[in-house]
Amino acid sequence: MCGIVGIFNYRDSIEGERPFIEWALKSMHHRGPDSNGTWTNNENYITGFVRLSILDLSENGNQPMISACGKYALSFNGEMYDVGKYRKRLQNEGVTFRSTTDTEVLLYALIHWGEEYVLEQFDGLFAFAFYNVVANSLILARDRSGIKPLYVGHSSQGLVYSSQYDHIINHHSIKSNPLHTGAVGAYLSLGYVPENSGVVTSTFLLPHGYYLHVNSAGFTRHRFFNYSLLQKGKAAKSLEQVLEENVRAQLVSDVPVGTFMSGGVDSPLVSYYANKHTNIQSFTIGVDDKKIDESKAAEEYANIFHTQHFCQHITEKDLLETIADNTKAFSEPFADFSSIPTLVLSKFARQKVIVALSGDGGDELFWGYPRNQRMLREGMAFRQNKLERVLSFGREKVTGAKRIIRRRHLQVRNFPAYYYRSLFITGAEQWLPELFDNEIEEAFFLKKLYEEEGAQDVTEQNIMNVLRKLEFDIHLQRILLKVDRASMFHSLEVRVPILSNEMIDYSSTMNFESCIKNGQGKYNLKQLLISKSNEQLVLQPKKGFVIPIGNWLRKELKKDVEDKIMNMPGELSHLFERRELEKILNEHNESKQDLGWLIWSLYSLVNWHHQHRKAI
């Protein structure tokens, strides 16, 4: 796991760009503390790399990696799994390898077989830049799920890319660009800036499952993966076979590997299969509040699985002291405050391991969230036209009948738009229309969904498939962003076996009825875990580690939050209605309404601006 940065000019020389590249490498040292390097064609392209050594710890694994012929250069952040079969094929085609890294296999696979084949066939978490010297062309690509970041900024001069957003917005070709108000509005809605967009104009996060082709004429976007909206046949393997095989594949490493393990379902399953193949170390954090503490359940799983388990008990003071690091770690605006305990857990795990496996993705692939089950009833309301929904809304209000039609049903045109709003942070849907007097950009993947045939069909299965796709394409991205930035801030590589290619493909063969039973989401995962542990432990109510953000904003953080929000930089302040800002703070401070998440999003936006907007 590493960090990459580079500049491709369409016509001009990159002379004078080396100081920027050196600053970028220094400022993302945490992503790759073991070595760094640069390479340039001495004309219009330069790339830089910082390395966190995982496979082949020798200098042979350093990057940027140049082909033996000198015609190709690769900067690669991530890991490719099960590459042995590709190594053998390439050797049969005459390739002589200098290292045992996945990087070198990827380099020669791209040379011999091309990007379309590689992106379709290779399994991994990745963001890479592959340069062809002879063609003077560049491929920038990002994995299917969006586990690894790749930001891009573009101008008439050329293109700059990086693993960190602050590098993009502080490059001289971008630095003076104004804020993109639509993207700011999307951030305040979702708690993060969705893909294919950026809060500074002419910048974006490359969407997952996409690659860019760059040459002297500019760049074009290409999609190589689209999570299926339709159910795809029958799975050839069982869930257990697929999960175990992919956990085992992701254990490959020349450095210590562990797991994050909560008291839930997904991470214990990953820990079980990891420990089946090697004596794994598992990590969790605990708190004194029994209502939210999952450390006891995690310890029970550890005892059943016989992992080497480690738990760090933390206090509110520990979490509050992490806020400064939280601002540093996220070089783009980010408002999911669960990043704070993720930073604490990552720091704790890094004391003993360099790689950790997480359980992220299970809720999104197998209908695991409680909101998923509510949507069968709420989504079917879109069988009515808008007038019928208005009449039903009025009738339910007058008669006091159980509410099926909500105000949101009257504000949106279809179910995808309805469910999209269910992914908003608390308070955004109510307050943003008055607070933020600008057009709010819809997420890129919502707009792409509208283009798909059948996306607006109102059947039970289609409603459930649509919401799963939105969970994968939009909500999951906030979680993956959080885990990557928090873990890499402490130089910890986090792998996600449930989001392997094969697990994603397996999930698309499932229908919601096989995953939601007896009021339980991701029922198939829970049944599998029950077979490895016990039913009482697995089916106990999910606690979830909850940061007391509402109380912090009324007490410990109150003065700093109010000072920063009410005195935000002019570039931000003109976007907001000052009276509404005051009203939101008052409503929350007087406990009339819990607006902690919305206020935290504003506070985080200001902190981001102070820390990263003008970093150099």
SS3 for 192-254 is: ECCCCCCCECCEEECCCCEEEEEECCEEEEEECCCCCCCCCCCCCCCHHHHHHHHHHHCCCCC
* β-strand partners of 283: 260, 310
For residue 404, what pLDDT is reported?
Answer: 83
Question: Rounded CA gap, 37 and 385, in Å?
Answer: 60
CATH number, domain with residue 502: 3.40.50.620
Kindly report the backbone phi and psi dihedral angles of residue 375, in degrees, each rounded to the nearest multiple of 5, phi listed first: -75, -20
Return the SS3 of 130. Answer: strand
Residue 6 marked as a ligand binder: no
For the stretch 242-264, pLDDT in tens is: 999 999 999 999 999 999 999 99
Contact status, residue 575 vs residue 333, Cβ threshold 8 Å? no
For the stretch 447-494, pLDDT in tens is: 999 999 889 899 999 999 999 999 999 999 999 999 999 999 999 999
Residue 233 lies in a domain: no
Residue 143 lies in a domain: yes
Looking at the structure, tell me whether residues 327 and 436 fall in a common domain: no
For residue 410, what pLDDT is reported?
Answer: 92
Range of the domain at 579: 549-613
Looking at the structure, tell me whether residues 110 and 212 fall in a common domain: yes
Is there a catalytic annotation at residue 311? no
Mean pLDDT of all residues in 52-73: 94
Q: Which residue carries 């796709």 as its tokens?
A: 469
Looking at the structure, tell me whether residues 114 and 167 fall in a common domain: yes
Residue 405 marked as a ligand binder: no
For residue 341, what pLDDT is reported?
Answer: 95
Mean pLDDT of all residues in 216-230: 96
For residue 411, what pLDDT is reported?
Answer: 93
For residue 595, what pLDDT is reported?
Answer: 96
Residue 377 lies in a domain: yes
For residue 469, what pLDDT is reported?
Answer: 98
| β pairing state of 308-313 and 281-286 | parallel
User: Is the per-residue pLDDT at 545 higher than 80?
Assistant: no
Q: Which residue carries 């606690």 as its tokens?
A: 543
Boundary of a domain, candidates 442, 472, 502: 472
Mean pLDDT of all residues in 31-47: 97
Question: Rounded CA gap, 119 and 107, in Å?
Answer: 12
Q: How confident is the model at residue 307 (pLDDT cuts 50, 70, 90)?
A: very high
Looking at the structure, tell me whether residues 362 and 374 fall in a common domain: no
Boundary of a domain, candidates 472, 499, 523: 472
- Catalytic residue from among 2, 69, 311, 515: 2
Report which of 431, 471, 446 is spatially closest to residue 581, judged by C-alpha positions: 431
For the stretch 590-599, pLDDT in tens is: 999 999 999 9
Mean pLDDT of all residues in 554-574: 96
For residue 23, what pLDDT is reported?
Answer: 98
Looking at the structure, tell me whether residues 302 and 415 fall in a common domain: no
Q: Where are the alpha helices (DSSP H) in 351-498?
A: 362-365, 370-379, 386-399, 407-411, 415-422, 428-435, 444-450, 460-470, 476-489
Looking at the structure, tell me whether residues 395 and 349 fall in a common domain: no
Q: Residue type at 553?
A: L
Looking at the structure, tell me whether residues 374 and 357 fall in a common domain: no
Q: How confident is the model at residue 325 (pLDDT cuts 50, 70, 90)?
A: very high
Mean pLDDT of all residues in 552-578: 96
Q: How confident is the model at residue 401 (pLDDT cuts 50, 70, 90)?
A: confident
- Look up residue 568 and give its two tokens: 């935000």
Report which of 616, 49, 572, 22 is spatially closest to residue 331, judged by C-alpha positions: 616
Residue 424: CA atoms inside 13 Å, Cβ hemisphere, count? 22
Task: Supply the pTM of this predicted model.
Answer: 0.96
Mean pLDDT of all residues in 108-121: 98
Looking at the structure, tell me whether residues 44 and 168 fall in a common domain: yes
Question: Rounded CA gap, 46 and 160, in Å?
Answer: 10
Q: What does the DSSP assignment read for 21-74?
A: HHHHHHHTGGG-BSEEEEEE-SSSEEEEEEE---S--SGGG-SSEE-TTSSEEE
Return the SS3 of 307. Answer: coil
Residue 358 marked as a ligand binder: yes
* Surface-to-core class of residue 66, CB atoms within 10 Å of its CB (0-12 exposed, 13-18 middle, 19+ buried): middle
Looking at the structure, tell me whether residues 126 and 206 fall in a common domain: yes
Residue 544 lies in a domain: no
Q: What is the DSSP letter of 424?
A: S
Mean pLDDT of all residues in 538-546: 81
Mean pLDDT of all residues in 382-410: 89
Mean pLDDT of all residues in 160-185: 98
Q: How confident is the model at residue 437 (pLDDT cuts 50, 70, 90)?
A: confident
For residue 614, what pLDDT is reported?
Answer: 85
Residue 254: CA atoms inside 13 Å, Cβ hemisphere, count? 13
User: Is the per-residue pLDDT at 206 higher than 80?
Assistant: yes
User: Is the per-residue pLDDT at 615 higher than 90?
Assistant: no
For residue 322, what pLDDT is reported?
Answer: 95
Radius of gyration of the chain (CA): 24
Q: How confident is the model at residue 291 (pLDDT cuts 50, 70, 90)?
A: confident
Q: How confident is the model at residue 546 (pLDDT cuts 50, 70, 90)?
A: confident
Strand ordering across the sheet containing 72-81? 65-66, 72-81, 123-132, 137-142, 210-215, 218-223
Residue 323 marked as a ligand binder: no
For residue 541, what pLDDT is reported?
Answer: 83
Mean pLDDT of the chain: 95
Looking at the structure, tell me whether residues 515 and 602 fall in a common domain: no
Mean pLDDT of all residues in 207-235: 95
Contact status, residue 79 vs residue 125, Cβ threshold 8 Å? yes
User: Is the per-residue pLDDT at 80 higher than 90?
Assistant: yes
Long-range CB pairs of 80-83, under 8 A, 24+ apart, other chains included = 80/105, 80/106, 80/122, 80/123, 80/124, 80/126, 81/123, 81/124, 81/246, 81/249, 81/250, 81/252, 81/500, 82/123, 82/249, 83/122
Residue 477 lies in a domain: no
Question: Rounded CA gap, 422 and 275, in Å?
Answer: 37
For residue 537, what pLDDT is reported?
Answer: 95
Residue 132 lies in a domain: yes
Report which of 41, 42, 48, 40 is spatially closest to residue 22, judged by C-alpha positions: 48
> HEC profile for 134-176?
CCCEEEEEECCCCCCCCEEEECCCEEEEECCHHHHHCCCCCCC
- Look up residue 491 and give its two tokens: 């130089």
Looking at the structure, tell me whether residues 15 and 111 fall in a common domain: yes
Looking at the structure, tell me whether residues 518 and 404 fall in a common domain: no
- What domain count does the chain have? 4
CATH number, domain with residue 122: 3.60.20.10
CA 383 to each of CA 387, 408, 409, 418, 576: distance values in angstroms, whole numbers, following the listed order: 11, 15, 11, 13, 37
Cβ–Cβ contacts within 10 Å for residue 289, how many? 12
Boundary of a domain, candidates 472, 505, 524: 472
Residue 231 lies in a domain: no
Residue 234 lies in a domain: no
